[in-house]
Copies of this chain bind each other. A is one copy, B any other.
Amino acid sequence: MAQVRNKQVLLKNYVIGFPKESDMEIVEGSITLKVPEGSSDVVLLKNLYLSCDPYMRLLMYKDTPVSLGFHYSPGSPLTAFGVSKVVESGDPNYKKDDLVWGVTKWEEYSLVPSAQILFKIDHTDVPLSYYTGILGCPKKGEKVFVSAASGAVGQLVGQFAKLTGCYVVGSAGSQEKVDILKNKLGFDEAFNYKEESNLDAALKRYFPEGIDIYFENVGGKTLDAVLLNMRSHGRIPVCGMISQYNLSQAEGVTNMAYLIYKEIKMQGFIVSQFYPLYPKFLEFILPHIREGKIAYVEDIVEGLESGPAALVGLFSGQNFGKKVLAIAPQ
């Protein structure tokens, strides 16, 4: 049977503090391109694109607090979302050459339970890598603040809020990112948080009447300053807290009592709870992408070898937009 090379990115050690490239290891294994006899619930995938996301850092803790249905252990390849082509399927619902997206691994070929496939890809007139990204729900006229606004999620949140008729301000970590937010992605305003000695004052400048919706991607000091500037009945969807993932002791958030004073709702979420809405989301988003009404910025690097550096780079703000590993052409 055909044995082929199967390059993999393994987790070497559980991580303390910021992840380093040396916490991961690239190895060249091999794989037989065949689904084991009688396995009616597994699929052999050729991985095309792999997603590279900040939450992956959380799975590198020995006792990860997050329950995504998978975790990392030393010596095993990193699990992640990806776009893949079916090489062979034990599960009759999939056949050779189907394009799918779902939970796969940081390797060239993956044998995965078919339950990990989330969706077959029917629309291939948009870049396939887009299927590793995307989220929102504001009302016209509301004032929206998005942190990590040039990140994979932030860029889209801001544009969706603009589509709905909101006033949208984003924060990011460089002048270049600020320029792209304003000039390419259509944010009303954007600022470089590294240049602001007083985040509270910065928010008061852009939101003299306060914030209706804060889309939380960073946590820590930013959240503390935002709480001081929320309007009554404001909402804070909590998507991520990237500033806290590498700290052994998280920064304390001191203005929690504003939840009461301003009757604020905070709601944390993990994307998996929204999978049932995915087909509906596609109906909404695909026309916007085809008509060029949504700008989607990807930061694509080539090959599994680039994975460790890409992942480490997320925590020093090296990416603009969605970080993706391109593993193979179809």
Contact = CB atoms under 8 A, between A and B. Distances in A.
Nearest to A262: B268
A267 B268 contact: no
Contact of A251 (B252, B264, B267): B252
Interface string A244-266: 11000111111111111111111
B265 A265 contact: yes
B65 A261 contact: yes
Interface stretch (A154-162, A196-204, A233-241, A320-328): A233-241
A223 interface: yes
B269 A257 contact: no
Q: How large is the interface on A (under 10, 10 to 19, 20 to 34, 35 or more residues)?
A: 35 or more
B257 A65 contact: yes
A309 interface: no
A238 B223 CA distance: 17
Q: Is the interface of A mostly helix, strand, loop or mixed?
A: loop
Contact of A241 (B58, B253, B260): B260
A255 B250 contact: yes
A144 to B, nearest CB: 19
B254 A249 contact: yes
A219 interface: yes
Interface string A46-65: 00000000000010000001
B252 A254 contact: yes
A260 B232 contact: no
Interface string A208-233: 00000000000100010000000010
Given A249-B254, A253-B256, 20 more contacts: A66-B261, A67-B261, A219-B256, A238-B259, A238-B260, A241-B257, A244-B256, A250-B254, A251-B252, A251-B254, A252-B254, A253-B253, A253-B254, A259-B268, A260-B268, A261-B270, A263-B267, A264-B268, A266-B266, A266-B267
